[in-house]
Structure 1
Amino acid sequence: MSLNIHSAPEHELEPEYGLPEKLPEGEQIVWQGSPDLKVLLLQVFRFKALLLYFGLLLGYQVFTGFSDGESATAVFFSGVRVAAFSGLGLGLIALLGYLIASTTVYTITNKRVVMRIGIVLNMTFNFPLKMIESADCGVEKKGFGDIYLKLNQDTKIAIFHLWPHARPGQWAAPQPALRCIRDCAAVSQLLVQAWAQENNTSAKVVQTPDSSVATHHLRYSEIEAA
């Protein structure tokens, strides 16, 4: 039996899954997906780094306890207390990641990119393909990655409306992002094709060696008008 974390009662009344309304005639879904929970925790919330931090904190607590001459029982209960608070913190972060992954739906149609995001209050962002100037795709070894959308200058969105669905480090001019998606390279190709068709032009995927955007990405692709 498989668990679908994206099925929730509050979304049962959606006219179409992940969309605020039924698609108009002539528009069709090219791709639809959500962030991968494991990758989201590792890349966005740096879960491994947090585990290491709390592990070092626990080790330091035990070390200083014995160094100060405390009894083994006192050191044990002190360590249990640190471990309990650490586990609580990690559990809350994992819960936040789960809620983000389970309530987020990214949709690419032949006309636009739609992002349904938000935990308590769902928000839907519609980005017509004609509004998108370019897109960067960062792909990891296992095929997961992010797609960052560079919008035209007339479109402004506050970073706190998007986070964590925004390009890291872009605070002044936030870029909407499809975070931690599976088969990122293939999805970017679909986006390129839809973008080129909608804008009635040719487009290509360009490999660039730039690693300044996000250090965990290995390669980058950009939509460019030929």
Structure 2
Amino acid sequence: MSDHDDFAFEPIKGLPERPPVGEDILWQGRPATYALARDAYKLHWIAFYFALLLLWRCGVGLAQGGVLMALQIGIPTLVMALIALSLVWLLAFAQARTTVYTLTSARVVMRIGAALPVTFNIPFAQVGAAHLDLRRDGTGTIAMETTGASRIGYLTLWPHLRPGYARLTQPAMRCIPDAAPVAKMLAEAAETRMARPVVSRSEGGSASPVAAA
């Protein structure tokens, strides 16, 4: 895996440089904003917390001073909840808009980061396994177990990683729409790439086929 600061002009959206000859772009996408807010930023849990807080504070106000007191206590709590949920949505929107996932015939490229964009190249040769977490609405996360010696830090990747694997981070294309076809495309591309023969030259000068790495 390699990273590249992504301030320079991109010749192709999401890629720091043009793919080499023989490497084709198969798919590009980004997280769905709502799915990212729901799964990575826990929008539903935050909304549930504020709903309970609002009910409790309104109940206290109602018991102490009637409807007027309940409104006086409840309205500021409601405003605070709306502000918090709006901030969470904006964070998810910024992450989704600045992210570009690219699947080529040789690798996965992840251009991530809202404040400090960075690009990670993950060749198929360094992917030991891929896992699809599919949601009912068709969005899903495709996580990759990497086999290389170098690992990407948790904070560097978040939220573009597999949830629940903090000690051994797994880069992930997070919350993408229509994830099932993309996962199938990734599996087929990786299988094709790894099975493709490559000619290497032996000491005696004869050529012998070896499996692609």
TM over 0.5, yes or no?
Answer: yes
Q: Distance in 2 between the 1:31 and 1:107 partners?
A: 6
Give the C-alpha shift of residue 77 in structure 1.
2.1
Q: Select 2:25's aligned residue among 16, 24, 29.
A: 29
Matched to 1:116, the amino acid is R
Name the SS of the counterpart of 2:132 in structure 1: strand
Whether 1:120 and 2:110 are equivalent positions in the alignment is no
TM-score calculated relative to the size of structure 1: 0.80
1:110 to 102, 105, 110: 105
| 2:99–2:112 contact (8 Å) kept in structure 1 | yes
RMSD of aligned C-alpha atoms? 1.8
Deviation at residue 37 of structure 1 after TM alignment: 0.9
* Letter aligned with residue 186 of structure 1: P
Which position in structure 2 is the counterpart of 1:215? Answer: none
Q: What CA distance in whole angstroms lies between the structure 2 residues aligned with 1:12 and 1:90? A: 33
Equivalent-residue separation in structure 1 for 2:150 and 2:178 (angstroms): 28
Q: Distance between the aligned counterparts of 2:191 and 2:103, measured in 1?
A: 13
Identity, % of aligned positions: 36
Tell me if structure 2 keeps the 8 A contact 1:11–1:17: no
Deviations 1:160-194 (CA, angstroms, capped at 9, x unpaired):
00000011111111000011111211111111111
Q: Which residue of 2 aligns with 1:20?
A: 16
For 1:66 and 1:134, locate their aligned partners in 2 and report how far apart those are by CA, in whole Å. 56
Distance across 1 between alignment mates of 2:9 and 2:152: 27
2:53 corresponds to which residue?
57
SS at match of 1:87: helix
Instruction: Give the distance between the partners of 2:44 and 2:147, measured in 1 at CA.
Output: 36
Contact 2:30 2:100 in 1 (8 A): yes
Cα separation, 2, equivalents of 1:183 and 1:11: 29
Q: What secondary structure is seen at the aligned counterpart in 2 of 1:70?
A: helix
Deviation at 1:74, TM superposition (A): 3.4
Name the CA distance, whole Å, in 2 between partners of 1:21 and 1:27. 12
- 1:196 corresponds, among 184, 191, 197, to 191
- C-alpha contact 1:104 1:116 (8 A) present in aligned 2: yes
Shift of 1:100: 0.7
Q: Please state how far the C-alpha of 1:88 moved relative to its aligned partner.
A: 0.9
Aligned equivalents of 2:186, 2:168: Cα separation in 1: 22
Q: Find the aligned partners of 2:170 and 2:95 in 1 and give their Cα distance.
A: 18
Say yes or no: does 1:182 pair with 2:177: yes
Q: Partner of 1:88 in structure 2?
A: 83
The Cα of 1:30 is off from its aligned counterpart by: 0.8
| Alignment partner, residue 35 of structure 2 | 39
Is residue 126–residue 148 contact of structure 2 (8 Å, CA) maintained in 1?
Answer: no
Q: Which amino acid aligns with 2:99?
A: T
> Unaligned stretches of 5+ in structure 2?
1-5, 197-213
> Residue 216 of structure 1 corresponds to which residue in structure 2?
none
Opposite residue 85 of structure 1, the aligned amino acid is M
Which residues of 2 match residues 61-72 of structure 1 at below 5 A? 61-67=57-63, 69-70=64-65, 72=67
Counterpart Cα distance in 2 of 1:57 and 1:80: 12
Q: Distance between the aligned counterparts of 1:192 and 1:108, measured in 2?
A: 11
Question: Aligned AA for 1:135?
Answer: A
